[in-house]
């Protein structure tokens, strides 16, 4: 399969579409990004990767980092992780408070804001230096020490994150946060403010395509069984209330973020990351979704 040729062809097709999305202006620092940026990088498990466009430019991975957060907690707590957060799709927007009230402060899954906020609380109890330890973990997955938090984005989100502040307070009122709301949100805003390029992001997700092992270092991060479970959560919950649409049109487990990034994996084959800042109404990259739909359609290859 000549992936470089395929990516070049489908990028051309996607670039001719009029981009109907808008960037995530509710985080002021993200609003200033050039919305015409477009990058894609595909990394096969055992071959050199290839990219098109702005694939080596760093962007804010936002909610994509919730997958790293989940596996960090899952590695330490195992199945006990599921007592404070569920694994069912929410069918609601990423920042919804609605179910928290009817479900006693137990978020539906770890890939919506409420769920990731609870996982941050779990990690605050488990890690001696939570922000530094988490960043080191992400650097290990990416096999790259040049991964960092963008402090400007942290500050921007902390100043305007009223919905997340409300979510954390509601969860706390149900007794499902052990730590102070401010400390939990400080970790949460940092996690969302990790920056990576498409090239770095695809590499850091390769373990999910490779049965839980980082191909470059041969280090096992998750068992086969846990890898299956995390991939299932990405498939059913990775795109908020558009998870069904993504499964229907793309057919790969993945995760999106409001920075305009989407990462997806094809088990035993590759990880792919795409970045285009304009988002559709559900908060997923408009062109990124289109590109992945074209990829699996034109290569006749998805998990289904
Ligand atoms: N930091 C963003 C928020 O909490 C993450 C949302 C996302 O990427 O889906 O609103």
Token match 């590759």: residue?
270
In whole angstroms, give the CA distance from residue 59 to residue 183. Answer: 25
Give per-residue pLDDT as tens, 139-179. Answer: 999 999 999 999 999 999 999 999 999 999 999 999 999 99
101 neighbors 165 (Cβ within 8 angstroms): no
What does DSSP assign to residue 42? E
- Report the C-alpha gap between 95 and 148 in whole angstroms: 24
Q: Which atom of ligand 1 is nearest to the CA of 164?
A: 4
Residue 13: predicted pLDDT: 96
Asked whether the CA dihedral 88, 91, 94, 100 is positive or negative, the reply is negative
- Read off the pTM: 0.97
Dist CA 137 CA 134 (whole Å): 5
CB-based burial of residue 80 (10 Å sphere; 0-12 exposed, 13-18 middle, 19+ buried)?
exposed
Please say if the pLDDT value at position 19 is more than 80. no
CATH T-level fold of 3-297:
Beta-lactamase (3.40.710)
> 186-241 pLDDT, tens per residue?
999 999 999 999 999 999 999 999 999 999 999 999 999 999 999 999 999 999 88
Give CA separation, 258 vs 5, 63, 159, 269, in Å: 28, 7, 17, 26
173 vs 19: which has the higher pLDDT: 173
Q: Which residue from 128, 137, 184, 186 is spatially nearest to 157, judged by alpha carbons? A: 186
Q: Which two tokens stand for residue 29?
A: 């620092």
Atom 3 of ligand 1: nearest residue by CA position: 113
Which residues sit with their C-beta closer than 6 Å to ligand 1?
A: 62-63, 94-95, 113, 157, 164, 192, 257-258, 283
Residue 56 to residue 53: CA distance in whole angstroms = 8
pLDDT of residue 257: 96
Strand 270-275 to 39-44 pairing: antiparallel
Query: Which atom in ligand 1 lies closest to the alpha carbon of residue 63?
Result: 8
Determine the distance separating the centroid of ligand 1 and the alpha carbon of 6, expressed in angstroms: 31
């Amino acid at each position: 399969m000549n992936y470089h040729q395929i990516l070049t062809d489908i990028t051309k097709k996607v670039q001719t579409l009029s981009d109907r999305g808008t960037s995530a202006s509710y985080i002021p620092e993200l609003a200033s990004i050039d919305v015409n940026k477009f990058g894609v990088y595909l990394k096969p498990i055992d071959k050199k990767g290839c990219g098109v466009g702005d694939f080596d430019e760093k962007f804010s991975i936002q909610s994509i980092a919730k997958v790293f957060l989940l596996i960090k907690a899952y590695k330490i707590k195992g199945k006990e992780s599921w007592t404070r957060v569920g694994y069912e799709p929410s069918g609601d927007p990423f920042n919804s408070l609605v179910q928290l009230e009817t479900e006693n402060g137990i978020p539906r899954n770890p890939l919506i804001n409420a769920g990731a906020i609870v996982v941050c609380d779990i990690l605050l109890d488990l890690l001696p230096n939570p922000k530094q330890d988490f960043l080191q973990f992400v650097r290990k997955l990416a096999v790259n020490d040049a991964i960092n938090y963008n402090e400007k984005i942290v500050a921007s989100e902390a100043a305007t994150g009223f919905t997340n502040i409300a979510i954390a307070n509601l969860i706390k009122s149900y007794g499902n946060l052990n730590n102070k709301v401010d400390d939990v949100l400080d970790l949460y805003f940092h996690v969302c403010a990790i920056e990576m390029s498409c090239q770095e992001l695809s590499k850091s997700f390769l373990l999910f395509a490779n049965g839980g092992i980082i191909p470059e270092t041969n280090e096992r991060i998750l068992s086969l069984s846990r890898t299956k479970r995390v991939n299932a959560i990405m498939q059913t919950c990775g795109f908020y209330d558009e998870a069904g649409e993504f499964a229907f049109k793309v057919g790969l487990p993945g995760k999106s973020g409001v920075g305009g990034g989407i990462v997806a994996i094809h088990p035993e084959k590759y990880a792919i990351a795409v970045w285009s800042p304009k988002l559709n109404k559900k908060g997923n990259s408009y062109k990124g979704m289109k590109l992945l739909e074209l990829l699996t359609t034109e290569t006749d290859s998805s998990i289904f």
